[in-house]
């Protein structure tokens, strides 16, 4: 569904809601910043998340902090770096999820992509915000020292790409039937990309300077299980469909430190997870994160193409002025609750 369709689609949808929470590659400068200081629930949740992420200490070697870089940096290289992309995606996904909950919407399921699964874990009650932020902080600190790498999206199925894989380049994500992400260290990934393009494949880079979801990150993540094991874990109050197993996350899995420590290394199985999520039920898929990448992928699914299920992104498809963020959220609210956004304490356009 386009932003325009969301604005003109009529009365609120009474189908159950599931949240889609995006991960690496969806970030951009000032993502969702147009809501800050304007939408109270989002602002409060974002403040809480940024404070929780700052509590263990600075992330990276920049003189400026997360909040400053989120609101003020116009440099995509800054926002794409692991020390900014991962914690800010976690915070934005979480804050947007909290915003939807504040509308009185009660999701029947959560599906996160990559770091989005950690945000889903907080919204579901598996982790507290403080403990999940500690997990993210530890993860990012480890990955910041990983060797340079990257990811590319290829318009092909994994089996078509198998002959081209090697040198540590692996399938990092299965996003759709013919949308596969490859990951690896910089030089081998560059060589594989050139080979694929020469063979006629359509390849585009993913905004990442780290080889997410590849064995290249295994050395960096060694020892992380001990840190995660110290965190208390609750049972999910909202079902989570794991993007790593493509099945509902069980209480036993959630309590297994290795499940979380392996996530930067293991591939993301978004399409099989989405297939399970949509199996036998019609849903409103609300994308609670920057951009509309997961909505675009979901629109390829037969359940969405047929109209049985629909997508409702909370934010615009591309970066824009602050008022575009607010317009997109208000359009989504019209789809999800009677009367749209509730009256409440708003600061008006904040100019941040």
The pLDDT tens digits of the residues spanning 303-352 come to 999 999 999 999 999 999 999 999 999 999 999 987 666 554 344 444 34
Q: Give the per-residue pLDDT at 64.
A: 79
Alpha helix (H) ranges present in the chain?
Answer: 3-8, 40-54, 66-72, 76-80, 82-102, 116-124, 129-143, 158-161, 186-198, 218-221, 224-229, 251-254, 257-261, 270-277, 293-298, 302-305, 322-336
Whole-number average pLDDT of the chain: 93
Q: Could you tell me the pLDDT band of residue 102, with boundaries at 50, 70 and 90?
A: very high
Compute the average pLDDT of residues 176-184: 97
pLDDT digits (tens, 9 = 90+) for 258-290: 999 999 999 999 999 999 999 999 999 999 999
Segment 322-333, tens digit of pLDDT: 999 999 999 999
- 122-174 tens-digit pLDDT: 999 999 999 999 999 999 999 999 999 999 999 999 999 999 999 999 999 99
DSSP classification of residue 196 = H
Q: What's the mean pLDDT in 199-216?
A: 97
* Whole-number pLDDT of residue 286: 98
Say which residue, 292 or 3, is predicted with more confidence: 292
Q: Is the Cβ–Cβ distance between 339 and 16 less than 8 Å?
A: no
pLDDT bin (cut points 50, 70, 90) of residue 63 is confident
Residue linked to tokens 């197993």: 245
Q: Give this prediction's pTM.
A: 0.93
């Amino acid at each position: 569904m386009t932003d325009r369709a969301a604005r003109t689609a009529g009365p609120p949808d009474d189908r159950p809601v599931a949240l889609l929470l995006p991960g690496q590659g969806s970030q951009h400068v000032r993502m969702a910043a147009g809501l800050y200081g304007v939408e109270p629930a989002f602002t409060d949740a974002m403040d809480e998340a940024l404070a929780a992420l700052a509590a263990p200490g600075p992330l990276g070697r920049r003189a400026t902090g997360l909040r400053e870089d989120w609101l003020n940096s116009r440099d995509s290289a800054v926002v794409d770096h692991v020390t900014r992309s991962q914690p800010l995606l976690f915070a934005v996904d979480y804050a947007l999820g909290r915003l939807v909950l504040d509308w009185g919407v009660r999701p029947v399921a959560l599906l996160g992509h990559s770091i989005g699964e950690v945000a889903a874990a907080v919204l579901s009650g598996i982790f507290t915000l403080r403990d999940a932020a500690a997990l993210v902080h530890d993860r990012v600190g480890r990955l910041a020292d990983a060797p340079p790498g990257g990811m590319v999206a290829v318009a092909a199925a994994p089996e078509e790409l198998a002959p081209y894989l090697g040198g540590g380049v692996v399938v990092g994500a299965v996003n759709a039937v013919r949308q596969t992400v490859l990951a690896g260290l910089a030089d081998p990934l560059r060589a594989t990309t050139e080979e694929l393009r020469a063979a006629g494949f359509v390849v585009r880079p993913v905004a990442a300077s780290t080889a997410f979801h590849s064995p290249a990150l295994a050395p960096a993540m060694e020892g992380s299980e001990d840190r995660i094991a110290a965190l208390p874990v609750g049972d999910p109050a909202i079902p989570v469909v794991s993007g790593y197993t493509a099945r509902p996350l069980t209480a036993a899995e959630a309590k297994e430190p290795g499940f979380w420590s392996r996530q930067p290394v293991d591939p993301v199985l978004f399409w099989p997870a989405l297939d399970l999520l949509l199996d036998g039920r019609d849903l409103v898929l609300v994308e609670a994160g920057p951009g509309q990448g997961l909505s675009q992928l979901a629109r390829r699914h037969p359940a969405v193409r047929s109209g049985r299920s629909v997508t409702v992104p909370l934010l615009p498809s591309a970066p824009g002025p602050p008022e575009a963020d607010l317009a997109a959220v208000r359009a989504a609210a019209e789809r999800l609750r009677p009367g749209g956004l509730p009256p409440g304490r708003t600061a008006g356009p904040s100019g941040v």
